Amino acid sequence: MSSISTAGILLRRIEYGDHDLILTLLTQDYGKISMIAKFARKSRKRFPGTLELFSEITLVGVSPRKGGMPVLQEAALKQPFAGIRGNLLKTAYASYWSELVLTWLEEQKAQKNIYRLLRYCLGALDAGQPPAVTSIVFQLYFLQFSGLSPNLRQCGRCRGALEKLPGEKFGFDLEKGGLVCKGCLTGKTPEWQLSRGTVKQLLWIQAGNLKNIRRLRFTEPAIKESQMFLEAFIPYHLGREPKSLKFLNHIRQLGS
């Protein structure tokens, strides 16, 4: 048997049989992995308070020589992020980010940048940072680390640089992943629009460092534009709308 020892964030837990749990985690050293926690449901002493969704844990497990799912042997709580699970809106955002990770990432392929990103954003959410802005940050960096960043620096059709494009509003072509300037727009008003100020803020995030993000201040119109854009762009390239995004939209509607 080969051993597994790393830190991980619990993204999904499924009851298996009468006593066990199947866990899916984003780990620091192995990327996304699924493990079975035997007797985790039967014995509270086995993993006391450690296997809660969105928690960061340190874990030890083994992979059977003949294949099959790795078995979780030990788990210790590193960061509980308990403030997320006690708040429905925060839970909805964390569930959306988790589903993106679960859907997009390959099994057992290290993704240390995405691990650090998820840990940072869960920490910000837990600490009371604005959930909508934190989600904008998560989505932008997630796209960047996945190689799917939208092109916000120039018109995707005429290739004109942003600073030389006329007007204060731009369309966006989801299929080609780029801005569309006023001169290249044809027909009806585009469904997806971004103001120049919003584009500049999104570019600042893309080019910046996570440590500086807390200084970021979005206006309400910029938050709404960014949310609508990113939450349309990501499902388009994912090929479907995440179930957790539908739930998030429902919770936001109830709150408004």
Q: Where are the domains of the chain?
A: 1-80, 85-256
Tell me how far apart the alpha carbons of residues 73 and 78 are, in angstroms, rounded to a whole number: 16
Distance of CA 151 to the CA centre of its chain: 19
CATH architecture of the domain formed by 85-256? Up-down Bundle (1.20)
Q: Is 95 or 65 the better-scoring residue by pLDDT? A: 95
Q: Burial of 144 by CB count in 10 Å (0-12 exposed, 13-18 middle, 19+ buried)? A: middle
Q: How far apart are CA 205 and CA 232, in angstroms?
A: 19
Average of pLDDT values for 128-155? 94
Distance CA 93, CA 183 (A): 37
For residue 44, the model assigns a pLDDT of 73
| Residue in this structure with the two tokens 């959306």, named with its chain if needed | 96
Class of the 1-80 domain? mainly beta
Q: Is the pLDDT of residue 224 over 90?
A: yes
Do residues 32 and 106 make contact, with C-beta atoms less than 8 angstroms apart?
yes
- pLDDT band of residue 67 (cuts 50, 70, 90) is confident
Could you read off the pLDDT of 31-63 as tens digits, one per residue? 999 999 999 888 777 888 899 999 999 999 998
| 85-256 and 1-80 share a CATH fold | no
What ranges make up the beta strands (E) of the chain?
2-16, 20-27, 31-37, 56-63, 71-79, 151-155, 169-173, 178-180, 193-195
Q: Which amino acid is residue 229, in one-letter code?
A: F
Of all residues in the chain, what percent carry a pLDDT higher than 90? 74
Residue 41 in 3-state DSSP?
Answer: coil
Q: Pick the more confident residue, 225 or 65.
A: 225
Chain segment 167-223, per-residue pLDDT in tens: 899 999 898 888 999 889 877 777 788 999 999 999 988 887 777 777 778 889 999
pLDDT, residue 65, reads: 77
